[in-house]
Amino acid sequence: MEKNQIVEVEIVDLSHEGQGIAKVDGRVFFVDNALPGEVIRMRVLKVNKKIGYGKVEDWLQVSPHRNQETNLTYLRTGIADLGHLNYGQQLLFKQGQVKQNLKKIAGLDHVAVAPTLAADSPLAYRNKAAVPVRRVQGQLESGFFRKNSHDLISIEDFYIQEKEIDALILATRNLLRRLDLKPYDEKEGTGLIRNILVRRAHYTGQMMLVLVTTRPKVFRIEVLIEQLTKEFPNLVSILQNINDQKINAILGKEFRLLYGKETIVDQMLGNEFEISAQSFYQVNTPMAEKLYQVAMDMAQLKADDIAIDAYSGIGTIGLSLAKQVEHVYGVEVIPKAVEDSQKNAQRNHIDNVTYVCDQAETAMQNWVEQGIQPTVIFVDPPRKGLTPSFIESSAQVQPDRIVYISCNSATMARDVKHYEELGYKLKEVQPVDLFPMTHHVECVSLLVKA
């Protein structure tokens, strides 16, 4: 097998990232925009002893589950890497991924994984966007990078973002062009405008714009502010973030308020939340409400429950369940998030919550030493999952139930296996589709003390 060789192959499966899988001469090939059951002519892009990568030259047989309407740009950039698969099949794929990870990683195939909870709106759902700004063919453009590259593809309709966000990005791009502000050139380290970040509160409609620049001074910034706030009355916050480092991180450390307020306000499950530029807030608000409701229902909360909300962020989970329990103790390592969660508790007149800034293990131990015995622990970790020390600490405080909200079923399966070794049993698993058209899936699992 050589690079650029063309071979006829059948796609037999999908990888966990939604790439088609073909097997040729003892090698596994990964192919973008290819679905199980399809027969294709594949061009070999890269090959080694065990695996290779290919691209579709043409289809000899097309899957009946193919979504023919998807713009290939969304596949090339990874914006919607499952957009070529019809939505019903996406839900089955995600359920299958969770099942497979629990079986392969945790050795558990006796626990039924429920069908993936479908999104009401599988398109135009994202409430947050961060798009790079670069020069393409002599003109300032906003868009998204081609997968595995830093080549910008100009995009005006992002498909899975709320339409008002797309409109604000487009208007900002046009004004940046008109004001002749220079886009960032990462090879040369020159230019001014690096990224446009937009957040939109789903229920209130309030919007925030963050311009990420390489230096503080922005020529005629007042013109841009005046034009945008006139065109978008719901634009209540404009900030500048200064990132002068030659790194891939979108944001730098310094923020400057240019217009309005530093936060926007949204609602979730009957509570109001202030959201800052750096806040963690689920990108699909209606489905986040369903996710948290599933978690609360699974926990079978009682009025005398003492709940711990680990990785508490700005308080979205803890404040959602506070009315159903005796007390919620939240812990988070990011000081600004703890400050936000305390403000959000006051904003919603919720006084049976306590938020601290600490490592979760340390905070839990302190609470136990103070005579506080949790009956239920909620965890919502980042993609890397929980640390072994957290798992051991949470099991040592012996809650009746542990509710695990996960954005990565592979690390969740690894952690569930650890909990099982410490005397907790996995009882329920519910995938929830917060990220339609992508391979990502959220999942809620219930572990109970054996």
Listed in sequence order, the DSSP H helices in 107-220 are 163-178
Is the domain covering 6-64 a CATH 2.40.50.140 domain? yes
Token duo for residue 174: 């046009």
Local confidence pLDDT in tens for the 450 residues of the chain: 889 999 999 999 999 999 999 999 899 999 999 999 999 999 999 999 899 999 999 999 999 999 988 888 888 898 999 999 999 999 999 999 999 999 999 999 889 999 999 999 999 999 999 999 999 999 999 999 998 898 999 999 999 999 999 999 999 999 999 999 999 998 888 999 999 999 999 999 999 999 999 999 999 999 999 999 999 999 999 999 999 998 889 999 999 999 999 999 999 999 999 999 999 999 999 999 999 999 999 999 999 999 999 999 999 999 999 999 999 999 999 999 999 999 999 999 999 999 999 998 899 889 989 999 999 999 999 999 999 999 999 999 999 999 999 999 999 999 999 999 999 999 999 999 999 999 999 999 999 998
Domain 128-268, CATH: 2.40.50.1070
State phi, psi for 7 to the nearest 5 degrees: -130, 150
pLDDT of residue 432: 98
pLDDT of residue 160: 96
Token duo for residue 419: 């909990």
Instruction: Give just the sign of the alpha carbon dihedral 216, 221, 224, 230.
Output: positive
> Which residue has 């699909």 as its token pair?
284
Report the alpha-carbon distance of residue 397 to residue 408 in Å, rounded. Answer: 25
Give DSSP secondary structure letters for 355-386.
Answer: EEES-HHHHHHHHHHTT---SEEEE---TT--
Checking DSSP bridges between strand 207-213 and strand 235-242, what pairing results, if any? parallel
> Which residue has 């906003």 as its token pair?
142
> What are the sequence ranges of the domains in the chain?
6-64, 93-120+282-449, 128-268
Give the DSSP letter of residue 441. -
pLDDT of residue 365: 87
* CATH H superfamily, domain 93-120+282-449: Vaccinia Virus protein VP39 (3.40.50.150)
Contacts of 44 (CB under 8 A, 6+ apart): 1, 2, 3, 4, 5, 6, 7, 29, 52, 53, 54
> Which residue has 């957040």 as its token pair?
199
Is-contact 206 266, C-beta < 8 A?
Answer: yes
Catalytic residue among 211, 298, 407, 432: 407
pLDDT of residue 71: 85
Q: Starting at the earlier edge strand, list the strands of the sheet with 39-47.
A: 6-10, 39-47, 51-61, 27-31, 20-24, 13-14
Report the alpha-carbon distance of residue 379 to residue 377 in Å, rounded. Answer: 7
DSSP strands (E only) in 366-441: 376-379, 401-406, 424-432
Report the alpha-carbon distance of residue 309 to residue 69 in Å, rounded. Answer: 42
Report the alpha-carbon distance of residue 2 to residue 17 in Å, rounded. Answer: 25
Do the first three CATH levels of 93-120+282-449 and 128-268 match, i.e. the same topology?
Answer: no
For residue 357, indicate whether it is catalytic.
no
Contacts of 431 (CB under 8 A, 6+ apart): 94, 95, 98, 113, 114, 115, 116, 117, 409, 441, 442, 443
Report the alpha-carbon distance of residue 173 to residue 150 in Å, rounded. Answer: 19
